[in-house]
Chains A and B, each alone.
Chain A
């Protein structure tokens, strides 16, 4: 019993500390000094660095979705309308979630292990000793960069996925190009685009903050670095999927 209680206390403490880190990091956005150069550097790292894997992710997701969708629509003779299925499911769900999961794997775990190694080699303490606020310098800059880049990357992934669907629709299912694109856009409501952009902002926040929290709270030398990295990836992936469910629920409610 005491063990369970300790564990619960541990969870509550973690949530509290996590919230505190988030609050300080966000407050850092509005305080001097602004590390503009660092922020651009991380934007480049996150954005350009993830582009290639996201193009592949989008392309193959779109293609496989078209293949599967066509099989389901076949009995109703609705195969030509497959693009409706592609564009809505990609923009509403698959694009943001898959992009976020890939970015969590590449960027989130990178952030965690980088900060973790800085922690175990006392570089974070060295920053503090130099009078620098490590949260502002290391967390806020990365947070800004992820908040800006994840939506951009998601839009690119969405575009590529719909294009991937087009390739299969055009050359394998022989659907007319004009027909495909017309219905792809017809099916989307303006709100879908708005919601489709809110999600990646939330996911970006999760990816960065979970990675930073795991990294900064590393204990136990190099073993701890590996642990933090894994922990960051697993936690942010789960949080992404969970928050996606609740956001979808909310957006359906809002219409």
Chain B
């Protein structure tokens, strides 16, 4: 159970999240939708305790992680996995070592078990034949898939994905979407998927929230999202309808403005 309660966060330039609250029920797949720069990645970093909010609390399994010390946080993090937006593979390790990193580090399993688990995870994303490559030898999409394999390998109870399908071809996108669905139905993994790909969102979501400028503007199911008549939601779902005005430009935080000279 993940409970985000009235979280606010500010960087130098101003508020990035304003009074954000939402709940992720165990076993559900929450999709966070929203335009670029609205604070989606920031939410995932908060969930892992990589950054701390200015106010509010983040409760994971009944434990408030705000203000936890790094060492205690380490234990919480080991029940979760994050697929970074930019993959963030360890440059100095091979693909195999990257994927098996946490299992080796924990040292609780036999080498054969870990090897098998790594192979299995790499097979999911179709990359078992590059297991001895270094990350620098992979394409962007391949790195992303290795990052997904790394998250899967340690069988965490919570998986956070930051744009898992951005930069992937349709086949791989489909495979990843199916993977997320299967983890949901077969293994009841709690998942949070950040995306701005609407097809992915519709395919995998049990629960959707949508952000705009660091605020939650929608919370509900896919059907409710489709039926929503919020202006920002409509603009996000069918930009053509709104942005067809001449001299209409996007703004930095995902909104739009009409400029007339």
Contacts and interface: CB of A to CB of B under 8 A. Distances in A.
B67 interface: no
Interface in B59-78: 70-71, 73-75, 77-78
Nearest to A126: B88
A27 to B, nearest CB: 11
Contact of A129 (B71, B77, B86, B89): B77
Given A125-B45, A125-B50, A131 B78 contact: yes
B74 A123 contact: no
Contacts of B80: 129
B192 interface: no
A121 to B, nearest CB: 6
A133 B88 contact: no
Contact of B48 (A121, A123, A129): A129
Interface in A26-46: 33
Interface residues of B, number: 24
Nearest to B48: A129
Given A125-B50, A131-B102, 16 more contacts: A121-B91, A122-B86, A125-B84, A125-B88, A126-B82, A126-B90, A128-B70, A128-B74, A131-B74, A131-B75, A131-B77, A131-B78, A131-B106, A132-B74, A133-B70, A133-B74
Interface of B: 45, 48, 50, 70-71, 73-75, 77-78, 80-82, 84, 86, 88-91, 101-102, 105-107
A122 B91 CA distance: 11
A130 B86 contact: no
A110 B77 CA distance: 30
Interface of A: 33, 117-118, 121-123, 125-133
Give the top 3 A-B pairs by smallest Cβ distance, nearest first. A131-B78, A126-B88, A122-B88
28 contacts: A33-B105, A33-B107, A117-B91, A121-B86, A122-B84, A122-B86, A122-B88, A123-B89, A123-B90, A125-B45, A125-B84, A125-B88, A126-B90, A128-B50, A128-B70, A128-B74, A128-B77, A129-B81, A129-B84, A130-B77, A130-B105, A131-B74, A131-B78, A131-B102, A131-B106, A132-B105, A133-B70, A133-B74
Contacts of B48: 128-129
A117 B86 CA distance: 14
B52 to A, nearest CB: 13
Contacts of B78: 130-131
A126 B105 contact: no
Nearest to B50: A125
B77 A123 contact: no
Contacts, number: 54
Nearest to B93: A123
A128 B75 CA distance: 11
A123 B105 contact: no
Contacts of A117: 91
A130 B70 contact: no
B44 to A, nearest CB: 10
B24 to A, nearest CB: 18
A129 B88 CA distance: 11
B151 to A, nearest CB: 9
A83 B163 CA distance: 68
Contacts of A121: 86, 88, 91
A133 B105 contact: no
A208 B50 CA distance: 25
Contacts of A131: 74-75, 77-78, 102, 105-106
A174 B90 CA distance: 58
Contacts of B90: 123, 126-127
